[in-house]
Structure 1
Amino acid sequence: MAKAKTAFVCDDCGADFTKWQGQCSECGAWNSLKEVRLSSSTRSSGEGVLKGYAGATEAKIQTLQDVSLTEVPRFTSTMGEFDRVLGGGFVPGSVVLVGGHPGAGKSTLLLQSLCKLSQSHRALYVTGEESLQQVAMRAKRLGLPMDRLQVLAETNVESIVNLAQQVAPGIMVVDSIQVVHLADISSAPGSVSQVRECAALLTRFAKQTGTVLILVGHVTKDGTLAGPKVLEHIIDCSIMLEGGHDSRFRTLRGHKNRFGAVNELGVFAMTEQGMKEVPNPSAIFLQRAEEIAPGSVVMATWEATRPLLVEIQALVDSSHGNPRRVAVGMEQNRLAMLLAVLHRHGGLMLGDQDVFVNAVGGVKIMEPSADLALLFALVSSFRDITLPRDLVVFGEVGLSGEIRPVPSGQERLREAAKHGFRRAIVPAANTTKEKIAGLEVIPVKKIDEALSYI
């Protein structure tokens, strides 16, 4: 028996080390090194499964000019919101990682897509967490076509690849990467070594055969994808399905995409018939109360390739101890910075107040265009002033109190006008000569000028 080789891999950055140490010298993370045991036969057996396969080609050196620029044809996932996040559809030979919390709807979404795709493409659904009866019951409950989709219940990766070679699917789902294993690796399924080597073998199969491979991944307690960081470098596209158990809406967000835009957003609604697309998500996030309370304002954010209208809420209340700063759906550090700017350039002292801010609908706003809207919500709550229902606000706030422009300002204004907004307070640099019918655009350059409209 070959002697097992031992290595240590960092979960955060994927760096390899010959011995364990408390801190990764590459990324500085503490206690992130995990032991990996690989026998000498692991890589040879994994490669042997695909040895000599017809899809493999001999490598050769050529100039960049000689490379063919023929675009690889995509095919649709049968869902427009899914295609949007993918960048236009599935690319043959690509590897897509879909992650999310338990119960988010990962298996439901992929089963819906594959059952419909199986009518025009050869599709294979590999399940390691559920039985075939459970998969069939779900498909029947959702009213999906079941006559063409091929299914397999298996956790051994070598068996999965060998059986997949026989049917030659155009698209294959492995649910999930944390439960499959290689027989040559002694560690348990879900460990760093198993996830790393299983993903590498499945990816090699997808690249050599031109199969679209979709891997389902678990998430950790903090909401990040479980497994070694090197897994995110192997794949072509990383997608997260987000949404709480108390909400019927799910957001599909792209975190990495070699074939499309990053941070693209797709919205679905979980119903009794499965995942339904929401082509106009702004209408969902704008379901406001009949009587608008102080501290509420609508902003226009930009999600990859489309604008999105979101309601921002703020609550400023007297503190009875150490003042709290809580931000849900927004950056905590940015809130603290805006409070300091508001004090210095706006003349409002909130140091003795509890401040709570929230992006309604579970949306996570990462871009700085929410700065001005957040300041409006804070002042509105602190002064107990209700802002007009037909007002939309966006703009970045600088440390010196200036209002900076944001990208795609004209598209944001058109989206606001389409949903019935009549007034918009925006950075002066985002105003254009082309007027939008029914929308009054108010340009501002400094914080004091903007707050004078409240």
Structure 2
Amino acid sequence: MAKSNVQYVCSECGWNGAKWMGRCPNCGSWGTVEEFREASVAASSAHSRTAAPGRTARTTASTTITAQSAALPITEIDTESVTRLPSGFSEFDRVLGGGVVPGSVVLIAGEPGIGKSTLLLETAGNIARSVDRGSERNAVLYISGEESQAQIRLRASRIGAVEPNLLLASTTDLATALALIEQHKPALAIVDSAQTIVSQDVDGISGGSTQVREVASALIDTAKRMDIPVFLVGHVTKDGQIAGPRTLEHLVDVVCQFEGEPQTALRLLRAVKNRFGPTDEVGCFDMSGEGIEEVTDPAGLFLSSRGSNLTNATNSNGSDDCASAPSIDGTCVTFTLDGHRSLPVEIQSLVTNSVLPTPRRAVNGIDANRLAMLVAVLYRHGGIALLNNDLYVSTVAGGVAKEPACDLAIVGALASAAKKKPIAATTCAIGEISLTGQVRPIPRLEYRLREAARLGFTTAVVPMLRKPVHIEGLRVIEAATVKDALQALLH
């Protein structure tokens, strides 16, 4: 008989304890702590599970050392034979570090409806389309515990992922999922999702910490043993954390967050953990009714129509047409870093006379506390009084301008709206502003300036440089104070 212990687990965050509580002490949710009995599998049972087909491939300690587990000098281990599998999306491959590594387990997490399943189903179709039908591993296996095969087929038809080498299965049983992987030996296996698969060898509610840990361990064992890459979909809690035990993120090789606002089509894929590549890469995707499309050059996403005209003119004939782009007061463009990428962000502001006892401050895409500080600095060191005005500041297309390097563009947009003097469409501002009114240096300025020149900007207002920067086609204006910067922007 397996020994069982009564435990109480929070279905929201995975917290477990020895006694019931009305409110979870970890996430603070009410009525989410439920009772379940966790069974400890005996050693003899572990051997029987190994012998049974489709069961979790884990054994107890043994004196037999296989060739795969033998200790070897690091200089004798061959890595040239490891070939990464292209996902069909260059943006996805960039985040993974160059492609999918055989035998790796990748966890894709994100909010409901953000597009995780669509991204992976389209990736499965790309890989199934590219694999050699005559090879040993000539199929892609998609296992879903949330949808039926017919539902997945309908979605695949909509996004153009119907391929004969794409195998679909619908099950919530871990043993069945493992048996399918061992039977078909696919080039890629996708399990959607970790919280819906249940192991019959342990007790616990579906999605609980015990079940998620068991499911992840079994899939990782199978992936390493058979050298098959596995994509694992993970749910998130209401505060954005990956649901289940924290050990889930430690067990897998790669953890990616799929982010985006439901109101916009922009989706960002970030690598939070990556054993095979960098963790500061960001992939950009566009969500549409026909599926997900990668955005290799996201410059035009965060610019308004005037910025898009500027970019299109630059890409078409070289740049002189950019000077004809219209200039509108209350707007200023800056460049922010997201991983290795330099992204343009357009700041728009509206300044009106307030009829309220307390002037209104409405922001979107920037920090409200940062705005309050910049308004005070603008009044004290810039000579522009906006303390009694209603201020509305926003970015375009859901861009984020919370980096300190965006301070100069926010101040420029506010001053432009207050004085009704437009900033030239080909001018950008990059710099941090201190409480003393100084324009402070920022990291990787030259990288941002090169991106600005590529997009057709001809003038950049920046902090004082430690060493000269010469970029063809771009005039760099150095400003030591806010007053100097505003004079350069509003001349």
Pairwise TM-score range, normalised by the shorter structure: 0.7 to 0.9
Q: Give unpaired runs (5+ residues) of structure 1.
A: none
Using a 3 Å threshold, how does the CA distance of structure 1 residues 111 and 427 change in structure 2: closer, same or farther? same
Q: The residue matched to 1:39 in structure 2 has which SS?
A: strand
TM-score, with length taken from structure 2: 0.79
Look up the equivalent residue of 2:414 and give its one-letter code. L
What amino acid sits opposite 2:182 in the alignment? Q
Is 1:50 the equivalent of 2:57? yes
- CA deviation vs aligned residue, 1:303-353 (integer Å, no higher than 9, x gap): 212221121223344441444444423334433443444444434454444
**Residue 339 and residue 34 in structure 1: after superposition, are their counterparts in 2 closer, same or farther (change >3 A)?**
farther
> What are the superposed Cα offsets for residues 282-319 of structure 1, whole Å, 9 maximum, x if unpaired?
02322424754432111111221222112122334444
Aligned to 1:338: 374
- Provide the rounded CA distance (Å) in 1 between the counterparts of 2:159 and 2:17: 48
Query: Which amino acid is the alignment partner of residue 404 of structure 2?
Result: P
Q: Please list, as runs of the form range in 1=range in 2, the aligned pairs for 1:85-164 lying within 5 A after superposition.
A: 85-118=95-128, 119-120=130-131, 121-164=138-181
Distance change >3 Å, CA 14–CA 156, structure 1 → 2: closer
Partner residue in 1 for 2:134: none
- 1:127-173 CA-to-partner distances (Å, cap 9, x unmatched) read 12221122223323333351111221111112211221222223211
How far 1:253 sits from its partner (Å)? 2.9
Counterpart position of 1:2 = 2
Residues 14 and 409 of structure 1: CA distance in aligned 2, closer, same or farther (over 3 Å): farther
Identical-residue share of aligned pairs (%): 39
Does residue 395 in structure 1 map to residue 431 in structure 2? yes
Alpha carbons 1:98, 1:106 under 8 Å: kept: yes
Equivalent pair of 2:14/2:208 in contact (CA under 8 Å) = no
- The match for 2:403 among 362, 367, 371 is 367
Deviates more, 1:362-371 or 1:34-43: 34-43
| Alpha-carbon spacing, 1:144–1:23, altered in 2? closer, same or farther (3 Å) | closer
Q: Find the counterpart in structure 2 of residue 206 from structure 1.
A: 223
Matched-pair contact (CA < 8 Å) for 1:170–1:210: no
1:258-297 CA-to-partner distances (Å, cap 9, x unmatched) read 3223242222223454222222110232242475443211
Letter in 2 for 1:414: R
Contact 1:42-1:185 at 8 Å conserved across structures: no
Distance 2:458 2:265 in 1: 30
Would you say 1:386 and 2:422 are equivalent positions?
A: yes
Q: Which amino acid aligns with 1:75?
A: L
- Within the candidate set 335, 340, 353, 1:300 is matched to 335
Give the whole-Å Cα distance in 1 for the aligned partners of 2:12 and 2:464. Answer: 42
- 1:15-414, aligned counterparts within 5 Å? 18=18, 37-41=37-41, 49-51=56-58, 68=77, 70=79, 72-118=82-128, 119-120=130-131, 121-289=138-306, 291-319=326-354, 320-414=356-450
Q: Deviations over 1:385-413 (max 9, x none)?
A: 32111111112233443323223222211
Secondary structure in structure 1 of the residue aligned to 2:58 = coil
SS in 1 for 2:465: helix
> Mean Cα displacement is larger for which, 140-149 or 442-451?
140-149
| Deviations, residues 75-132 of structure 1 (Å, cap 9, x unaligned) | 2111111112222111222222223344333222211211221231542111122211
Q: Secondary structure at the match of 1:178?
A: coil
Aligned 8 A contact 1:9 1:15 in 2:
yes
Q: Which residue of the partner structure matches residue 424 of structure 1?
A: 460
Please say which of residues 168-177 and 249-258 is displaced more in the overlay.
249-258
TM-score, scaled to structure 1: 0.84
Q: Supply the AA of the counterpart residue of 2:427.
A: L
SS of alignment partner, residue 452 of structure 1: helix
Q: Which amino acid letter does the alignment assign opposite residue 339 of structure 2?
A: A
* Number of residue pairs aligned between Structure 1 and Structure 2: 449
The aligned amino acid for 1:79 is F
The alignment yields a C-alpha RMSD, in angstroms, of 3.6
The corresponding residue for 2:486 is 451
Q: Which runs of 5+ in 2 are unaligned?
A: 132-137, 307-324
| Counterparts in 2 of 1:57 and 1:406: CA distance versus 1, 3 Å | farther
**Range 296-305 or range 331-340, more displaced:** 331-340
| Secondary structure of residue in 2 paired with 1:421 | coil
SS at match of 2:305: coil
